[in-house]
């Protein structure tokens, strides 16, 4: 550590409390003292001083001897701070193991109070997006709703439709594209909006069951899956509002 940093700050960094550092530095300077002498020099209560002296003794930083009718506390060599750090390190390892063993219990309690919170999962890259698409297929919703910019869609439409047909998933799409209507304009399941209307829409949204899948694909592929009935219903309402707008354009 930098020699210019005050001793108290260094001791606190090593793990001593503010008051423990004050008592240790006092004894480091004085060599030895009674609790009464420490009390007269520091703005601490007698009870606090006795507790700190006991703790510093347990840490191996102090020792004590009985002289007449009073106990004298002696500062041990500062090299004992190394033993103190070693003990703290061992204690932290024990605490780490305890936390690992108890984490499932903590998480169970955490989830109990958040059963109505939306579950949000983040994915990155093409693999994450494909995993989300695969999960959609595995969940086999009767119907899914999509809002997409086809110019940025990383999947080939025919392959996607083939998978949905294979698993009997009815897919209703609202899409935009610089190329114009790329899907069958007579289809009852697809609705086109020109880029002039959807000029800033550069993501893909899929709504199915109680989930909303949102993907950004223009620069980096990132996907968010929100599992919440209320949010899914709200997105579905938005889908139908946009759908009515698209039907006017047909």
Q: What is the mean pLDDT of residues 179-195?
A: 78
Q: What is the mean pLDDT of residues 15-37?
A: 94
Residue reference for tokens 């939306």: 118
Distance CA 9, CA 187 (A): 73
Is the pLDDT at 53 greater than 80? The verdict is: yes
Whether residue 123 contacts residue 132, with contact meaning beta carbons closer than 8 Å, is answered with: yes
Extents of the domains making up the chain? 7-79, 119-249
Is the pLDDT at 171 greater than 50? The verdict is: yes
List, in order, residues 6 or more apart from 245 with CB less than 8 Å away.
Answer: 193, 197
- CA–chain centroid gap for 106, Å, is 15
Q: How far is CA 71 from CA 33, 39, 68, in A?
A: 9, 14, 8
Angle at 43 between CA 39 and CA 47, to 5 degrees: 55
- For the chain, the C-alpha Rg in angstroms (whole number) is 34
Residue reference for tokens 């919170």: 117
Distance CA 145, CA 234 (A): 13
- Per the DSSP assignment, residues forming a β-bridge with 148 are 175, 204
List, in order, residues 6 or more apart from 174 with CB less than 8 Å away.
Answer: 146, 147, 148, 190, 191, 192, 193, 239, 242, 243, 246
Element (H, E) at 50: helix 46-58
Instruction: Report the range of poorest mean pLDDT among 28-37, 103-112, 151-160, 192-201.
Output: 151-160
State the pTM of this model.
Answer: 0.51
- Per the DSSP assignment, residues forming a β-bridge with 62 are 75
CATH of the domain spanning 119-249, picked from 3.40.50.720, 3.30.870.10, 3.20.20.70, 3.20.190.10 = 3.30.870.10
Q: Phi first, then psi: what are they for 59, rounded to 5°? A: -70, -15
- Which burial class, exposed, middle or buried, applies to 38 when counting CB atoms under 10 A from its CB (0-12, 13-18, 19+)? buried
Write out pLDDT tens, residues 195-214: 888 778 888 899 999 999 99
Write out pLDDT tens, residues 81-112: 999 999 889 989 999 888 888 887 887 777 67
At the topology level of CATH, where does 7-79 sit? Arc Repressor Mutant, subunit A (1.10.10)
Q: How far is CA 231 from CA 42, 68, 117, 210, 235, in A?
A: 59, 76, 11, 8, 6
Hey, what are 240's tokens?
A: 């139908």
């Amino acid at each position: 550590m930098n020699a210019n940093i005050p001793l108290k700050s260094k001791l606190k960094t090593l793990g001593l409390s503010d008051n423990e550092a004050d008592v240790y530095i006092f004894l480091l300077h004085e060599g030895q003292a009674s609790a009464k002498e420490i009390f007269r020099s520091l703005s601490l209560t007698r009870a606090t001083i006795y507790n700190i002296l006991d703790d510093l003794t347990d840490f191996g930083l102090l020792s004590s001897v009985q002289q007449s009718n009073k106990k004298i506390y002696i500062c041990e060599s500062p090299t004992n701070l190394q033993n103190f750090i070693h003990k703290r390190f061992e204690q932290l390892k024990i605490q780490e193991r305890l936390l690992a063993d108890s984490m499932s219990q903590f998480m169970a309690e955490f989830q109990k109070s958040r059963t109505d919170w939306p579950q949000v999962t983040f994915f990155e890259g093409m693999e994450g997006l494909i995993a989300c698409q695969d999960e959609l297929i595995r969940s086999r919703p009767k119907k899914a709703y999509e809002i997409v910019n086809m110019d940025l869609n990383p999947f080939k439409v025919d392959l996607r439709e083939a998978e949905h047909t294979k698993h009997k998933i009815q897919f209703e799409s609202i899409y935009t594209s610089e190329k114009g209507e790329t899907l069958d304009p007579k289809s009852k399941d697809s609705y086109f909006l020109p880029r002039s209307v959807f000029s800033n829409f550069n993501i893909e949204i899929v709504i199915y069951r109680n989930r909303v899948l949102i993907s950004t694909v223009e620069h980096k592929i990132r996907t968010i899956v929100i599992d919440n009935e209320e949010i899914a219903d709200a997105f579905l309402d938005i889908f139908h509002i946009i759908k009515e707008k698209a039907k006017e354009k047909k």
